[in-house]
Structure 1
Amino acid sequence: MLVTLAERPDLASATYSIPYSPDSPKFMTGSLTSLLVRGRRVVRRWPHLVVALLEADIPVARGIMVPFRSRASLPARGWDEVAVWAAEDALDDVAPDTACALEIAVHPDHQGRGHSRVVLEGMRAAAAGLTSLVIPVRPPDKAAVPATPMREYAAQTRADGLPADRWLRTHVRAGGRIEGVAPCSATVQASLADWRRWTGLPFDRDGAVVVPGALAPVFVSTVEDFAVYVEPNVWVSHRVGGFQGYPFV
């Protein structure tokens, strides 16, 4: 059963308590932009855009969206910029026309059952009052080839024409349209001590370092004692009305 937290506000805590997979990259908690759209803020302002999949009335998967007013094109700064747009529009009382999915998470004990696809469909339904749903998709399998440019990776297809990447393929099969790449969608900059804590790696040399779970290399400066990760994502749009797609710059 799918519900929104507007329908079941009593499930907010349980929905946000769904854990990530043990192999999820811990370094993404270092994103400063994500502080703008923390769970309690989204639930308080946009509970109708948080979807929970229930089994025996217990949340086992969630989908989180924020609304914003569409600009001329989808941003190259992807996830980060949309989070800022949503916050700006809310503060400025600008009426939104687009929903952006920030996350789909499935409880580790319930993975491999197609729950992500079900939550995606629920998000499309919850966004039906808006013009469209867009998603800066994070294809996790890209971590196996961090040196491959995302544009090249996202363009790879199977013999049947569907994306080679399994998560992009899920979106396309669900009716999604790949709009382009957000080359600097999410940024994490932190001290080397933080990076060591998140990854267990030494971070004792300058330059590009491959980090498990990262979709691109992390750039390290031992002299300045910091490292920066700039993650590329893939913009995918889903029809929730008469939407025809965005131009992409």
Structure 2
Amino acid sequence: MDLHITTLAERPELEGRMWSMKDLWPEYMMYDPVGWANMGRIVAEFPEYVLVATEAATDGTTGGNVVARGFSVPFQLHAAGRGELPATGWDQVLLWAFSDLRHGRTPDTVSAIEITVATSALGNGISHRMLAALRANTQRLGFSELVAPVRPNGKHLEAAASIHEYAFRTRESDGLPHDPWLRVHVRAGGTVEKVAPASMTVSASVEQWRSWTRLPFDTDGPVEVEGALVPVHCEASRGYAVYVEPNVWVRHAV
């Protein structure tokens, strides 16, 4: 597939099409409160860190359909009290980025936030190309490092497995990560560094979880949910359930 990848700063007219792109994110993933509050702010305040891929039009121009997006944010990793990639991963790096922006701190690192490919364009290797473009954009903006709280996309098939074991599991054939998305990152030059055990949290009533998943959520204990990397903890007797998603920190020198 012939792609044109640009920043949203370069092509702001693509914003609407970018958001309306159909994807495979489970509905409950949209209700992490940190993401809910800040994803739109990335577009508004960091458009040069947002990449949009369009399929080339038949005449070779940059028209065409939006087939992928890639979000990243700049932040100051080495600020006082930081220095380490946080255990609260995705949520924390978003909070740091907008805190730094508000307080005028000079960023020293870029974090990937998401790479999403339209359902109509899956299977064309676009995620690999978007990762390469995020790396290149990070370098273009004057940074030497891109970090990523990676959502290992095969982990949902082993929801009960330890993320600490899964993150560092490798293939005997080539020593690359067992997980397909982690493998893409390593092949691109990244290094798997550590687990972020509480990268994203979705807390909601059992009624909300039932509407999102069509599962009963009527018993206390773990509930395996389609697409979830670990079981959701259900407190049916108290009327709520909580999903705490682990991610895996990967570092990319660019």
How far the C-alpha of 1:35 sits from its partner, in A, is: 2.4
Tell me: higher relative CO, structure 1 or 2? Use CA pairs within 8 A at least 6 residues apart.
1
| Residue aligning to 1:32 | 33
Residue 119, structure 1, aligned to residue 130, structure 2:
yes
Runs of 5+ consecutive residues of structure 2 not aligned to the other structure: 58-62
Match of 2:45 in 1: 45
Q: What is the DSSP-based 3-state SS (H/G/I as helix, E as strand, rest coil) of the residue aligned with 1:203?
A: coil
Which runs of 5 or more residues in structure 1 are unaligned? Answer: 241-249
Who is 1:130 aligned against? 143
The answer for the alignment partner of 2:106 in structure 1 is 95
**Amino acid across the alignment from 1:32:** P
Specify the alignment match of 2:8 in structure 1.
5
Report if aligned partners of 1:18, 1:105 keep a CA contact under 8 Å in 2: no
In structure 1, distance between residues paired with 2:225 and 2:54: 34
Post-superposition offset of 1:131: 3.0
Could you tell me how far 1:130 is from its partner in structure 2? 1.9
TM-score, structure 1 length as denominator?
0.92
Q: Name which of 96, 112, 116 aligns with 1:105.
A: 116
Aligned-partner Cα distance in 2 for 1:43–1:211: 30
Runs of 4 or more, structure 1, over 4 Å off, are none
- Write the letter of the residue equivalent to 2:15: A
Identity percentage of aligned residues: 48
Determine the C-alpha separation between the residues in 2 that align with 1:36 and 1:212: 25
Across the aligned residues of Structure 1 and Structure 2, the Cα RMSD in angstroms comes to 1.1
Aligned residues: 237
- 2:199 pairs, out of 185, 193, 198, with 185
Decide whether the 8 Å contact of 2:153 with 2:180 is kept in 1: no
- Counterpart-to-counterpart distance in 1, 2:186 and 2:134: 15
Aligned equivalents of 1:43, 1:210: Cα separation in 2: 33
Q: Which amino acid aligns with 1:152?
A: E
Kindly provide the CA deviation profile for residues 189-241 of structure 1, in whole angstroms up to 9, marking residues without a partner as x: 0001110011000000001111111101111112221001111100011112x
Deviation at 1:120, TM superposition (A): 0.6
CA positional deviation for 1:26: 1.3
Structure 1 position 16, deviation (Å): 2.2
Contact 1:20 1:106 in 2 (8 A): yes
Deviation at 1:156, TM superposition (A): 1.2
Deviations 1:115-151 (A, max 9, x none): 0011111111111122311111001210111111111
Q: Is the 8 A contact 2:86 2:196 kept in 1?
A: yes
